[in-house]
Every structure is written in C-alpha cells, then in structure tokens.
Structure 1
Amino acid sequence: MAMAVTPSISLQQITGLVLAGGRGARMGHVDKGLQLFRGKPLAAHVIERLAGQTGTLAINANRHQSDYAAFNLPVWPDLLPDFPGPLAGLHSGLTHCATDYLAAAPCDSPLLPMDLVAKLAAALSLQQADAAIAVTGRAGQTDLQRHPVFCLLRKTLLPSLTGFLQEDGRKMERWFAGIHTVEVHFDDETAFCNINTLQELRQLESE
C-alpha cells in the first residue's frame, strides 16, 4: 500500500536547512552552493524547492557568508571548528531553529523532490521516529542507497548529536544508526544526485 504524502506535521513546525558548509574539496575548493547551474547558484535551486515545503528556511555556511546572506535567509555557520562535516551543519541547525523539527538538504542537489519533506514527515509521524532519511533503489531490496543528508529531525535530538560530535563522531550513518530512524523510499534516484565536481555540474546541466 502506498504511503500517503499528506504531511502529518504542519509546515510551521519545520525549519528547512540548506547544507552549504563544506570545503568543496572535490570541486577544487570552490563554494559549491554558489556555482551556477542553469543560470542560478546551486543553492538557489535548493532554496526554491524547499521554500514551499517548510515554514521557514536557513542556510548552513562557513565561507562566503555575505554571498549566502544575499538570499535573505539566516546564515548559520558550524558551531564546531575545522569543517567537521554535514553533522556539524545539522548540529548548528538544531541549535538555532525555533521549531520542533529540522529538515535538511545539501546545496549541491538542485533536483530534490518537491514532496521530500511531506514524505519524510508522514513516515516519521507514522513510525513515531526521531529522524527520517531518504533512500532510493528497488523497494524491498537490501541494497538501497541511503541519502542521510536529506533528512527530517526532531529538535529533541540536539543532545544526542552534541554528544556524538563531542566524541569525535563524524559519520552520518553511524549517528543515525544509534537513534530511532525511519528510511523513506523515493522512486526517482536522479532527484538525489549531488554534484561533487565541476565536470558533474557541466554534465548535469547538459542533460
């Protein structure tokens, strides 16, 4: 039976967070979210797709913060030094957000689903979980591809994530494995393609 995508959590309870805090190492250390895709920065595409899915939006960025501030959204840098990874972005988001839930997506995925948050919210509520992450692949198979940067988290997870990071935890899947996480299947794998190199950016733009 197909899962209904009607959100069981109101939009006003959800803060959306665009994760743009990385070093961009595989893209020559440029700021990925500011690279142009179809005439607009990658982050702009993600913002547009998330805007109608959450009550409010913010950006996690550690570099070029004035450029990200030009999107007229709050910019929340990591609260931990040395670019420790996307979990640090989630930590900053959970710390700053004034809502009960935080929905996150990376700045380098301009095709993310328009029903991403609704499906995550429906599954999280149904399973009474603390977190929901997106997965793709053949439904029912064991080799599903997990996409933990596309997630919905309860605000109450902040102490758990803080403790994990203080113990030098960095791997997203390890943290999610230690909390009540529900995996939510999406059919369109291309919606979750993330751009790591300039070559991948040009290739996607030409499709």
Structure 2
Amino acid sequence: MSHQALILAGGRATRMGGADKGLVILSGRPLLAHALSALSAQTPPPERVWISANRNLDVYAGFGCPLLPDSLPDYPGPLAGVLAALEREDGGVWLVMPCDAVRLPADFSRRLLAEVASGRQAASARDREGWHPSLLALGPGLRAGLAAYLAGGGRSIRGWLAGLNHVEVGFDHLFPNLNTADALAALESEPRAD
C-alpha cells in the first residue's frame, strides 16, 4: 500500500531530562538513526519519510528527510506532529511512529496498513506488555477531525483514536519504550533477541 511515514521527534522529552530525544545516543547512534533503519527494513517501504521536529532542525536536516515542525504553539504533544503531516497531505495513508521505535518486527507496517486498506481509519500496535498508540497507521481524510480535537483541548492519542474506526493489532514482538535514561540504559545492555 502506498504510504508516507512520519517519525515523531518534536516533543519536550521531559522524562528524558529534556534532551532532544531523537538525538539521544543508543549504541553509538542517535535514536532517530535507529528508527530510520527499522523503518527502511519494512515491506512495503514508505514513499517518503518525514520527521516531526521542533528543535535542532539543522541537525535533523542532516538525516536527509523533510522536516515538519508543529503548526501549533507550545509543544501540545505528538498529535501536533500528526496534524502537521495531515496539513501537508490529508489525502494519503500515513505510518506514524515515535523516534524511540528502534526495533520493529518485519511485518509491522504490512499488518497495520492492511487494516487501513480494509477500511479502518486507524490501526495501532499492541504487544504483550500493552498498547502503543503512537505506533499507528492512519487512513486518509482525518485532518479536520484531528484539528477539531486539538482545538477542543484534546491532547491524548488514545482519546483521539477512541473517536475513530480504530483497531489494535497484536504483535509478539516487544516494542521498547525509551522514555527515560534508565530505559535507554537497560536496552543498551540487553542482548539483541531479534
């Protein structure tokens, strides 16, 4: 299925001490570099990868992907990055993932995109430890609804997805959640299982 990908790296990363999370180093490379590698291994590959970023834009530009700063002020959360993407192109299909999605199963995009192709507005990932609402595929035509949700004070991806024709897709693969320095250190010391 033809789609574009959006990597979310535009937040404040307060649980990571305010560091620009996409540029935090894991195994000698920025998290964003790992996320781009994981995404490039997917079948089908995206037609284009965009980076949602609000700081260090010159550094992010060096990754060779177009940048999408938030169109809303004051870092209102990951949905602002999604809105910026949909404002760019609302008529297509998007695969969305955070910059700490450094390990993806080989069938990640295929399975999420299949749900959108079957008529769902959105599909997100779940592993045996829980739901990962920021790992998702989005169908076309969602910009106006998302803009209204944000204008009404909504900030939660979970809350927005609750109003859509959405499905959670279960994976055996564990998706790392690298919100803290401790989580990053734990993954760094963990042997690769996949």
TM-score, with length taken from structure 2: 0.91
Aligned partners of 1:71 and 1:133: how far apart in 2?
26
Which of 22, 29, 36 matches 2:11?
22
Task: List alignment gaps of at least 5 residues for structure 1.
Answer: 1-8, 138-143
Q: Does 1:171 align with 2:156?
A: yes
Structure 1 segment 66-105 matched on structure 2, within 5 A: 66-97=58-89, 100-105=92-97
TM-score, with length taken from structure 1: 0.86
Structure 1 segment 117-136 matched on structure 2, within 5 A: 117-126=109-118, 128-136=119-127
Aligned partners of 1:112 and 1:31: how far apart in 2?
22
Structure 1 segment 151-170 matched on structure 2, within 5 A: 151-170=136-155
Q: Is the 8 A contact 1:119 1:184 kept in 2?
A: yes
Q: Does 1:201 align with 2:193?
A: no
Q: CA deviation at 1:121?
A: 1.0
Off by >6 Å, runs of 4+ in structure 1: none
Q: CA deviation at 1:197?
A: 1.4
Aligned-partner residue type, residue 134 of structure 1? A
Aligned partners of 1:47 and 1:96: how far apart in 2?
21
Which of 106, 126, 143 matches 2:98?
106
Task: List alignment gaps of at least 5 residues for structure 2.
Answer: none
Aligned-partner residue type, residue 92 of structure 1? A
Q: Deviations 1:80-101 (Å, cap 9, x if unpaired)?
A: 1111111111111111237611
Q: Is the 8 A contact 2:116 2:139 kept in 1?
A: no
Aligned-partner residue type, residue 111 of structure 2? K
Q: Is the 8 A contact 1:124 1:182 kept in 2?
A: no
Which of 43, 49, 52 matches 2:32?
43
Aligned partners of 2:160 and 2:18: how far apart in 1?
27
Q: Is the 8 A contact 2:91 2:141 kept in 1?
A: no
Q: Deviations 1:138-159 (Å, cap 9, x if unpaired)?
A: xxxxxx7221100011231111
Q: CA RMSD in A?
A: 1.4
Identity of aligned residues (%): 40
Aligned partners of 1:75 and 1:65: how far apart in 2?
8
Aligned partners of 1:97 and 1:18: how far apart in 2?
15
